[in-house]
Amino acid sequence: MIELKNINKTFKVAKRNAGFSEAVKALFKKEYTYINALQDVSFSIGDGEMVGYIGPNGAGKSSTIKIMSGILTPDSGECMIDGRIPWKDRIAHVKNIGVVFGQRSQLWWDVPVIDSFELIRDIYKVENAEYKKTLSQLIELLNIGEIVKTPTRQLSLGQRMRCEIAASLLHSPKILFLDEPTIGLDAVSKIAVREFIKTINRENKTTVILTTHDMQDIEALTERILLIGKGRILLDGSLSELKTRNSTHKTLTVDYSGEKLPLSEHMTVIKNIDGHAEIIIDTVFLTVSQAISYISSKVEVKDMSVMGETVDEMVVSLYKEFEI
């Protein structure tokens, strides 16, 4: 159980304008600006939930993750994770969490991955029998049996990420924080990583909190999303809810034969060449079926497809809506 209540965090950042004279000035007198990294952030996440935490760069995602993992102390507010305050009870707290920073490695660079795993086992004091069980499960699910004997530096990014994730789960944590786990991965590795996250969430009941900029991750993995912007939680809801809420438009692609494409109100043509047309329908006033029956009554339709907004577009419109 994760519970955050009115978390606030302000950073002091040295401000300096460009230019040499400014640099000299900064030597003697530093000007600071205050950035509200987090303002009144509150949410709670139940055991076994999988939550996507999204927001543009600099919105406060990493700060929240850092607070939840005990690295950062907030200025004010409460944070309880499984009955502990992360930054006060650091050692006891971190035994129960796993953290994957997508852009940093926790494996020792020059030694085989398996050596890193064994050292991590000792750091977390995992029983040997328990370790062997977890390890074989992870190796099988992540398909890393072949590569664990290779030094980390020789692994591809996709292989390394799979090993990173395995390393974060060797101590069977109850909560897993994933900070951009699919960044820079190819399609095959991405899908493998996603499948794996789904599996451990389902089978081990691991709570997963995922930050990402890859909306396919969100679509494939999470039911619930938290949107943060400028340090505030703007939205907390399910993905499908958000979709219906936000999709006011659908795109209709029609291949037709006939003289002229008929149009009614609330339809906007964005493309119409040689019997191939793309039409945007304002679904607030006109349902998709109404539009289809209207068009097919006027011209002979050869092919037709309907597309809703992609999650990417949805997020863009969300960012616009909240002006972040």
Partner 1 sequence: MKLYFKYVAMLLKSQIQYKASFIMTILGQFLVSFTAFLGIYFMFSRFHSVNGFTFSEILICFSIVLMAFSVTECFVRGFDVFPRLIQSGNLDRILVRPRNEIFQVLTSNMDFSRVGRLFQSILMLAYAIPTSGIIWTFDKVMTVVLMLIGGIAVFSALFVLYAGISFFTIEGLEFMNIFTDGSREFGKYPLSIYGDGILKFFTYVIPIALFQYYPFLYLIGRSDNIGLIFLPLLGFIFMIPCYCFFKFGLRKYKSTGS
Q: Which residues bind partner 1 (CB under 8 A)?
A: 11-12, 63, 66, 69-73, 75, 87, 90-92, 94-95, 97, 99, 101, 104, 106, 108-111, 115, 118-119, 122-124, 151
For residues 168 and 171, give the distance between their C-alpha atoms in angstroms, rounded to a whole number: 7
Is the Cβ of residue 151 or residue 275 nearer to partner 1 in the bound state?
Answer: 151
- Name 266's Cβ contacts closer than 8 Å, sequence gap at least 6: 281, 282, 284, 285, 286
Q: In this complex, which beta carbon is closest to partner 1, that of residue 55 or of residue 102?
A: 102
For the chain, the helix, strand and coil percentages under 3-state DSSP, each to the nearest 5: 35, 30, 30
Least gap, CB of 145 to partner 1 (angstroms): 22
Name the CA dihedral angle for 217, 68, 65, 70, rounded to a multiple of 10 degrees: -140
Degrees (nearest 5) of the Cα angle 104, 62, 92? 80
Residue with tokens 């852009």: 103
Between helix 187-203 and helix 157-169 the angle, nearest 10°, is: 10
Q: Which is nearer to partner 1, 63 or 182 (CB)?
A: 63
Quick count: other Cβ atoms within 10 Å of Cβ 290? 14
In the bound state with partner 1, the residue whose beta carbon lies nearer, of 122 and 274, is 122
Q: How far apart are CA 225 and CA 245, in angstroms?
A: 14
Give, for 45, the enclosing helix (H) or strand (E). strand 31-45
CB of 91 to partner 1, least distance (A): 5
Q: How far is the CB of 131 from partner 1 (least distance, A)?
A: 14
What is the separation, in whole angstroms, between the first and last Cα of the chain? 29
CB of 124 to partner 1, least distance (A): 6
**Structure tokens belonging to residue 300:** 């002979």
Report, in Å, the least distance between residue 122 CB and partner 1. 5
Which residue's CB is nearer to partner 1, number 11 or number 319? Answer: 11
Nearer to partner 1, 122 or 265 (CB): 122
Q: How far is the CB of 241 from partner 1 (least distance, A)?
A: 33
Put the strands of the sheet holding 300-307 in their side by side order: 267-273, 276-282, 249-257, 300-307
Task: Give me the amino acid identity at 34.
Answer: Y
Which lies closer to partner 1 via its Cβ, residue 14 or residue 187? 14
CB of 262 to partner 1, least distance (A): 60
